[in-house]
Amino acid sequence: MSHGTPSGGWDEPWYRVHTEHFEAAFLPDADEDLDAVTDIDVEVQLRDGSRWSASMCTVGHVETLMERWAASGEALAGRYFWCSDGLIVRDAGISNMIQVLAGLVENGEFTQILQRLED
């Protein structure tokens, strides 16, 4: 992985993180702890100007949803989870999610995993 230090800050309602390869714009709730985020939408702009999106969530968040759905009957009583632009990550927090995105850019898998946005 790259050794550059990402920088982040608020551009409400977005929380933007700049890295050497991309800018990621997350849409957290106003009072959400950025180190504890388990489910969030992100738009990423690569250096070439292309824009990409994903709904990132942790394995734990998916498990919580499936347990809730088992009780409510949704999603065949919690027997599956699906979303069209989902990217499941192990660890919570925007900084961990940035590490995943950076790794995907660096290993060449980014464009196969995120959804490209039209200009």
Mean pLDDT of 108-115: 95
pTM of the model: 0.89
**What pLDDT, in 10s, does the model give residues 9-35?**
888 899 999 999 999 999 998 889 999
Rg value, the chain, Cα? 15
Residues 6+ apart with CB under 8 A from 74: 68
- Give the separation between CA 24 and CA 81, rounded to whole angstroms: 25
Residue 2 pLDDT:
46
Tokens at residue 8, please?
């982040």
Would the pLDDT of 52 be above 60?
yes
